Amino acid sequence: MKKRIALDMDEVIADVLPKFLDIYERELGVRLKREDYWGTHKLYRTSKEVAFIRDFLFDKGFFADLPVMEDSQEVVRELQEHYDIFITTAAMEFKFSLEDKYDWLKRHFPFIHWKNFVFLGDKSILRADYMIDDNVSNLRTFQGKGLLYTAYHNTAEEAYTRVNNWKEIRAFFKQERMKDED
């Protein structure tokens, strides 16, 4: 049986930040750059702004047109030859994200079967061999091997194997398979 990878969506295969930057500019009149967010966690000037911008996550369509993370389609397709890939995404806080995420996956990752989609809230219920996620709290409760995908909010974290992009994910799993063969 193939080993299993639980693969997150937002900020791992779907790039959320550009959308936030667009909304920020449209609503607050300031064009921020990706670097303003990165590692500083200070995109917003006040907590009221944080809440205001975050509310857009509840809108129908927010998750429908996010860009695909570079190289993710190609590498996921390669990994499928060796692993069962499950898309495991925290969707339950935002009701309208359910159909948006479903359509997004069908459009950008048509080679992943719907049987392997998991939309949930608390990822501690998952059983898999690997988890790729940008959220430390998801990795903390995971019993397999966790990979932390670098995002602005986790740059200080040191407890997990870090991957900065999909080329590094490809290299990581190549090494894992070499170890398994030994």
125 burial via Cβ count (<10 Å: 0-12, 13-18, 19+): exposed
- Encoded one letter per residue, x for contact with a copy of itself by CB under 8 A and - for no contact, window 88-117 reads x--xxx-xx-xx--xx---------xxxxx
For residue 34 the two structure tokens come to 């990706």
> CB-wise, 15 or 99, nearer to a copy of itself?
99
CB 109 within 8 A of CB 93: no
Cβ 86 to a copy of itself shortest distance, Å: 6
Dist. CA 36–CA 64, nearest whole Å: 25
Cβ 121 to a copy of itself shortest distance, Å: 3
Considering only 6, 14, 17, 163, the residue that binds a copy of itself (CB under 8 A) is 6
Q: Which residues inside 140-169 make contact with a copy of itself, applying CB under 8 A?
A: 143
Considering only 30, 50, 51, 120, the residue that binds a copy of itself (CB under 8 A) is 120
Q: Quick one: which H or E segment has residue 85?
A: strand 83-90
For residue 68 the two structure tokens come to 């695909």
Residue 120 vs residues 48, 52, 99, 131, 138: alpha-carbon distances, Å:
28, 24, 13, 15, 12
Contacts of 182 (CB under 8 A, 6+ apart): none
Cβ 126 to a copy of itself shortest distance, Å: 6
CB 126 within 8 A of CB 90: no
Considering only 38, 118, 153, 168, the residue that binds a copy of itself (CB under 8 A) is 118
> CB-wise, 84 or 157, nearer to a copy of itself?
84
> CB-wise, 20 or 117, nearer to a copy of itself?
117
Dist. CA 178–CA 176, nearest whole Å: 5
Q: Which residues are designated catalytic?
A: 8, 10
The number of residues making up the chain comes to 182
| Piece of the chain touching a copy of itself by CB under 8 A; list 32-40, 42-50, 119-127, 161-169 | 119-127
Site of interaction with a copy of itself (CB under 8 A): 4, 6, 86, 88, 91-93, 95-96, 98-99, 102-103, 113-122, 124-128, 143
